[in-house]
A = this chain, B = another copy of it.
Amino acid sequence: MIRLLLADDHPVVRAGLRAVLELEPDFVVVAEEATAEAAVVRAGRGDVDVVLMDLQFGDRLDGIDATQRIRALPDPPRVVVLTTYDIEGDVLAAIGAGAAGYLLKDAEPGEMARAIRAGTGDTVLAPRVAQRLVRRSLQPDTALSARELEVLGSVAEGLSNEAIGRRMFLSQATVKSHLVHVFSKLGVESRTAAVAAARERRLIR
C-alpha cells in the first residue's frame, strides 16, 4: 500500500488526483495540502510514502524549495513533481532538489500511477520531458551556452544591450556578439523574436 500526500493549491486538481489515483487498489491518499509550507510539515509526520508536489503555488515557485526541505527530513518520503509545464530549467531544478520523478499534469492516469510506483530507484521523467532533454543533448549546435542564456534572460526582462552590458560588466559589443549567436541558434532575427522562440522552446519562463 502506497500512502500519498497531494500538494497543490488548486482544489479541483487535488480532487482530480484523488479521484484517479484512488482507483488504484494499492494507492491511498492520506492527506491534501494547499500550500508548500503545509506540505513540508505534513510530510514530516512519517506516514507518507510519496508526495505529489506541484511546483507553482499561486504565482510562486515554492515547490522546488518544499521538495528540498522534504528530502532533508529524516527518513523522507519520495517526492514526485507534478506540474503543467516541462520547462527545462524547472526539470533540472526539481531533480537537483531531490525529486524522484517529474510528471506533467496532462498525463493519463495510468501513466501517472506507473511513474509513482516505479520511482524507487532512478528519477522517473514523463516520456515527453525525457524526450526533449535527450533531443537537446544530441543537438549541441542549437544549445545556447550559459552566457548566451544569461544575456537572453536580460533581453526578456526588457533591457537594452547597453543596460545588459552594464549589468553583466560587458561592452555592448560583447552583448551584441552573444545575441547574434543566439539569433542564429534559434533561427530568428530580432531580440523580441528570440524571446518568443526561447519561451516557446521553454528555455526561459
Which residues of A does B touch, CB under 8 Å? Answer: 9-20, 58-59, 84, 105-109, 112, 155-160, 188, 190-197, 200
Contacts and interface: CB of A to CB of B under 8 A. Distances in A.
A24 to B, nearest CB: 13
B109 A12 contact: yes
Among A84, A155, A158, A191: residue with most chain B CB under 10 A: A158
Q: Count this chain's copies in the assembly.
A: 2
Contacts of A10: 16, 105-106
Q: Is the interface of A mostly helix, strand, loop or mixed?
A: helix
Contacts of A195: 158, 192, 195
Nearest to A155: B192
Contacts of A59: 200
Contacts of A112: 12
Q: Which of A12, A105, A195, A196 has the most CB of B within 10 A?
A: A12
Contact of A16 (B9, B14, B106): B14
